[in-house]
Structure formats: C-alpha cells, structure tokens
Amino acid sequence: MSYIKCQQVVKAYSVSDHEIVALRGIDFEMEQGEMVAIIGPSGAGKSSLLNLLGGLDKPTAGQLRVDGENLLELKGKQLADYRLSRVGFIWQNVGQNLLGHRNALRNVTLPMMLAGAPFWQRKKQAKELLDAVGMLEHIHKRPTQLSGGQQQRVAIAVALANQPHLLLADEPTGALDRENAFQVMKLIGELRERYGLTVLMVTHDMEVANYADRILTLRDGALGQDLSGQQEDRKLDEEGRIQLPTAVRTHLSVADRIAVEIRPEGVLLRPEEDEDDDTSAMLAEMLPQDKPPEKTGLIRRIFRRGKKGK
C-alpha cells in the first residue's frame, strides 16, 4: 500500500461570488521513504496540496490517505494529534516556523511540550536535533540573531521535534541564497536517511527539485509531466543558459534554421528547412501557424498608391 494516496482530490475556494478551483482531480501516490518534489508557478495549487496532506484543510471532494489513515475521518483531538506528531512542516516564511521571542532551544522544545513530553526528554531531544542540523552552538540565540540559513536549520529541527514520519516542505529555500539553499537541501537529504522520513516538497526552483527522487509538475491545479530521470537535461550551464533535453536537441539539429516564437504559454522553437524540402510542408501542418495580419483599409490605399506611382 502506498504511504500517501490521493484519489480525485478537488479543492475549491469561494471568494466573494466566485469559486476558485485550486486542485482539479489530483491522483497522486508516494512510497514510504521517498522524496518527491512538485514544481510549478505561484498559484498552481502546490501549497493547497500540502495543506490537505498536513491536515490543515479538507478537500472539497476526493480521498486522502497517509500511512493507511483516512484524513477525511480525522476530527477533533485525532486531527490535532496528526498535525502535531505525525507530520512536520517547513515553511518559506521564518515567521511561520519560529517564534521570535523564543531562542532556538525553546522553539524546538515547544512542539514536544504541546505533545505532553516531560521536561528532561524535551531538552535532551531538542539538543540532539539541533546538533543534527549543525546548530548546537547557537541554541540560546533568537531568530533575529541568526542568518537566514541558520533560521531554516532550526526550523527543520522544530519540524522533526515530535519524530514525525512525514515531512512537508513549502518552498523551504525560497528565502535563501543559492549556497544556503543547497546546504539546506543537502541537510534534508541527510536527515531523511537518518530518521527514515518521507519528504514531499513544493518549489518553483528546478535546481532545488533535483534533490528529489521524483519530480512532478503542477499547473492550474492539475498534475502534469513526470520529469524524473531527466536531471541531466534540465540544468543550466555555467553561464546560465538553458540546456534543452537530448530529444529536442536531436530534433532541432537537422534543421537549417530554428525560429523562436514567444507565446503566452511559453517559448516555441520551430525548426525551419529550405522551402523546397518536403519536411517544411510536413512541419507546417504539424505546428500551429500564426495567420498574417489582415490588411486594413489604410494599408490597402497605401499599397494602391505605390502601384500607381510605379
């Protein structure tokens, strides 16, 4: 049985007199111990999916199961216990991860205190976690005394305070520079192995997504292409140029010219052959062609005057 299973999950919100559909019939599964990244633009529905799996929200329709538990059946104390002990959250905004008036040690002990753990256990376990994330020497510092990368390390320790098996990360590196972002992702990978975590992360950064076992796209509330196994074709080179997938490069390499067309949905690369090549006619039928602009009355008059002048 899959550790996470979503079946035809729909989430809609009512805003004034309008209904906004954030998720449109999501079917999604994850195995225990797997790390999956969901990549997509802002507003694609990524955070909505995390909120549902974290027990922070309910779907409008569909089924959600985590570790055999039907999340739709959890209510009251059962739902609170699930959020507190069985799932950990890492957010992009440090204000959602840490309380500003508590130092690192007291931030990590807070979830344990809410779960009813004794004092001696809270302090011992918090120090172990802060040591695991490389922050043991900063245990008495408040968030404002730490760098962004250090704050996120403490946030990871807070997320793991009650030893959850599921870690949900919502843009965990979105507020960090590249070096700190990669360090945090490397740390999450190490903790995943150490504590047997199942990690689901949403991001808009393909380089961050590369740390996952599997990468899925989410756009307009619907899961799309599985990008797993294509890491070598999705990186930028040293000068920041996009490296096209091998199949695309092979297809374009036979063209005499390549037309670049900017469209609302993205960039279209159109191979162009010599006019006497049969391939040109074939591609013209396969690829969408833009119609030439219609001549206005003014253009027709100018054109006629030009002919009379000749």
Q: What is the pLDDT of residues 64-81, one digit of tens each?
A: 999 999 999 999 999 999
Number of Cβ within 10 Å of residue 276's Cβ equals 7
What is the pLDDT at residue 283? 46
State whether 78 and 180 are in the same domain: yes
Q: Which of 233, 253, 284 is the endpoint of a domain?
A: 233
In this structure, the strands spanning 61-66 and 4-15 are: antiparallel
Mean pLDDT of 209-218: 91
| pLDDT tens, position by position, 256-303 | 788 877 654 456 777 776 555 555 555 455 555 544 555 455 445 544
| pLDDT tens, position by position, 53-64 | 999 999 999 999
What is the pLDDT at residue 310? 52
Domain count, the chain: 2
Mean pLDDT of 120-134: 96
Helix (H, G, I), strand (E, B) or coil at 58: coil
Tokens of 117: 């753990």
What is the pLDDT at residue 45? 84
> Over pLDDT 70: what percentage of the chain?
78
What is the pLDDT at residue 284? 52
Range among 14-18, 111-115, 265-269 rated most confident: 111-115
Helix (H, G, I), strand (E, B) or coil at 217: strand
Give a yes or no: residue 62 inside a domain.
Answer: yes
pLDDT at 188 over 60: yes
State whether 148 and 267 are in the same domain: no
pLDDT at 46 over 80: yes
Which residues in the chain belong to E strands, given as ranges?
4-15, 18-30, 35-39, 61-66, 69-70, 87-91, 166-170, 198-203, 214-219, 222-226, 257-263, 266-272
Residues 6+ apart with CB under 8 A from 117: 125, 162
Helices (H) and strands (E) in the chain, counts: 11, 12
Return the higher-pLDDT residue of 226 and 273. Answer: 226
CATH for 11: 3.40.50.300
Give dist(CA 66, CA 87) in Å, integer.
Answer: 10
What is the pLDDT at residue 240? 46
Contact present, 304 and 295 (Cβ < 8 Å):
no
Domain assignment of residue 200, given as a range:
4-233
Return the higher-pLDDT residue of 30 and 14. Answer: 30
What is the pLDDT at residue 298? 47
Query: 154-158, 232-236, 258-262: lowest mean pLDDT where?
Result: 232-236
Q: Which of 191, 214, 233 is the endpoint of a domain?
A: 233
Give dist(CA 199, CA 209) in Å, integer.
Answer: 12
Name the average pLDDT for the chain.
83
Give a yes or no: residue 238 inside a domain.
Answer: no
